[in-house]
């Protein structure tokens, strides 16, 4: 287990919590690796029927750790952790439910495109400033978002980097429901329990039918990844990362 990823098995439910509150749950390579492992292990565990993803109060995730991006932008090598995690999401054999409160930036938004149900709170804002950072959409979002949200909403989210309130996200079909902050944990776990009580084989087949072939999704994740890695080394991206790092220096 990684210190910033807490994994807990409660009966048929595996709960994965991102827990790096001082950085608003910015996700490091080690955190991606720990989440990929938790997804793979719970997929393989016959006792587990559903996985739940949480952040901390006020921060589901502020996205990829920008210091990790900066390291690559300045000549460092990236690993396979992000890709491994995205593959685990895209090929998940069992449902994933997310409970989102507060900040949901970058992959903090796009993770939810892979979830079967997402609950969020009124203070949640979904935002993907990829283009503003000199980057491109990731996690298969360039394929999933137009399919889920329609082309124009997808462009507003992924192209313009507009923030989507929880209400707008629900109206657009990005999430399942909006619940009060104090009810998020219980409501998300109740949704997971409802899934866990279904006949698992029928549910698996139903879910597989709804998702269809994952080949195109995995291919898109790879294609986005190649573009993303190239963009990380661009002047546009380097300048955006520098601006973030220096923003508190007055
Ligand atoms: N990577 C690394 N560190 C991050 C981070 C990220 N993606 N997001 C936030 N942090 C860090 C901040 O640097 C700060 O650290 P510090 O206290 O050591 O200075 C801490 O988390 C708290 O963030 P702060 O900006 O002070 O909180 P806030 O509530 O004012 O703003 C955000 C929160 C998420 C809106 C803002 O931090 C932000 O825009 N982060 C970048 C998001 C992003 O672009 N992600 C990548 C998408 S591809």
> Is the per-residue pLDDT at 11 higher than 70?
yes
**In this predicted structure, what is the pLDDT of residue 249?**
83
State residue 111's pLDDT score.
Answer: 98
Instruction: Please tell me the distance between residue 24's alpha carbon and the centre of ligand 1 in angstroms.
Output: 6
Name the CA radius of gyration of the chain, rounded: 17
* Residue 245 predicted with pLDDT over 70: yes
Q: Give 23 Cα–ligand 1 centroid separation in angstroms.
A: 6
- Model pLDDT for residues 186-243, shown as the tens digit of each residue: 999 999 999 999 999 999 999 999 999 999 999 999 999 999 999 999 999 999 999 9
Asked if 118 and 98 touch (Cβ cutoff 8 Å), the reply is: yes
Percent of the chain with pLDDT over 70: 99
Sign of the dihedral defined by the CA atoms of residues 233, 216, 62, 134, in that order: positive
Whole-number Å distance, alpha carbon 47 to ligand 1 midpoint, is 37
Tell whether ligand 1 has an atom less than 6 A from the beta carbon of residue 103.
Answer: yes
Which residues share a beta bridge with 99?
54, 119
Provide the token pair at 103.
């900040």
**What is d(CA 127, CA 109) in angstroms, rounded to the nearest whole number?**
6
Distance CA 197, CA 203 (A): 10
Superfamily of domain 5-181: 2-enoyl-CoA Hydratase; Chain A, domain 1 (3.90.226.10)
Which has the higher per-residue pLDDT, 249 or 73? 73
Listed residue (20, 5, 99) closest to 67, CA to CA: 20
Nearest to 105 by CA among 59, 171, 150, 141: 59
The predicted-structure confidence for 113-161, as pLDDT tens digits, reads as follows 999 999 999 999 999 999 999 999 999 999 999 999 999 999 999 999 9
Q: Could you give the residue ranges of the DSSP H alpha helices within the chain?
A: 29-44, 66-73, 81-90, 107-110, 141-149, 151-154, 166-172, 184-196, 200-211, 215-232, 235-245
CA atoms within 13 Å, Cβ hemisphere of 183: 11
At residue 250, does pLDDT exceed 70?
A: no
How far does residue 89's CA lie from ligand 1's centre (Å)?
24
Whole-number mean pLDDT of the chain?
97
pLDDT at 182: 98
Ligand 1 touching residue 125 (CB < 6 A): no
Report the share of the chain in percent with pLDDT over 90: 97
Please work out whether the CB of residue 137 comes within 6 Å of at least one atom of ligand 1.
Answer: no
pLDDT at 194: 98
Q: What is the pLDDT of residue 141?
A: 98
DSSP states along 117-167: EEEE-TT-EEE--TGGGT----TTHHHHHHHHH-HHHHIIIIIS---EEHH
Determine the distance separating the centroid of ligand 1 and the alpha carbon of 100, expressed in angstroms.
Answer: 17
According to DSSP, residue 78 is labeled P
Which residue CA neighbors atom 22 of ligand 1 most closely? 23
Q: pLDDT tens across 42-91, in order?
A: 999 999 999 999 999 999 999 999 999 999 999 998 899 999 999 999 99
Domain map of the chain by residue range?
A: 5-181
Cβ neighbours for 61, distance < 8 A, ≥ 6 positions apart: 18, 24, 25, 26, 27, 55, 103, 104, 105, 106, 107, 108, 111
24 within ligand 1 shell (Cβ under 6 A): yes
Would you state the pLDDT for residue 1? 65
Residue 140: the pLDDT is: 98
pLDDT given for residue 77 in this prediction: 86
């Amino acid at each position: 287990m990684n210190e910033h990823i807490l994994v807990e098995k409660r009966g048929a439910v595996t709960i994965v919590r991102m827990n790096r509150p001082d950085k608003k749950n910015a996700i490091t390579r080690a955190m991606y690796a720990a989440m990929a492992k938790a997804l793979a292990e719970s997929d393989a565990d016959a006792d587990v029927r559903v996985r739940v993803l949480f952040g901390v109060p006020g921060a589901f995730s502020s996205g990829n750790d920008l210091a990790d991006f900066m390291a690559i932008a300045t000549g460092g090598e990236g690993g396979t952790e992000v890709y491994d995690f995205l593959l685990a999401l895209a090929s998940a054999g069992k449902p994933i439910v997310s409970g989102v409160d507060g900040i949901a930036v970058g992959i903090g938004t796009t993770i939810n495109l892979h979830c079967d149900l997402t609950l969020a709170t009124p203070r949640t804002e979904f935002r993907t400033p990829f283009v503003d950072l000199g980057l491109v959409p990731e996690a298969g979002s360039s394929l999933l978002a137009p399919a889920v949200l329609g082309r124009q909403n997808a462009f507003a989210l992924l192209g313009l980097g507009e923030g989507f309130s929880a209400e707008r996200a629900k109206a657009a079909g990005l999430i399942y429901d909006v619940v009060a902050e104090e009810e998020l944990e219980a409501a998300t776990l109740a949704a997971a329990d409802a899934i866990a009580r279904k006949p698992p084989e029928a549910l698996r087949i139903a879910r597989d039918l709804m998702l269809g072939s994952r080949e195109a999704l995995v291919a898109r994740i790879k294609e986005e990844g190649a573009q993303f890695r190239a963009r990380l080394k661009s002047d546009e991206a380097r300048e955006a990362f520098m601006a973030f790092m220096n923003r508190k220096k007055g």
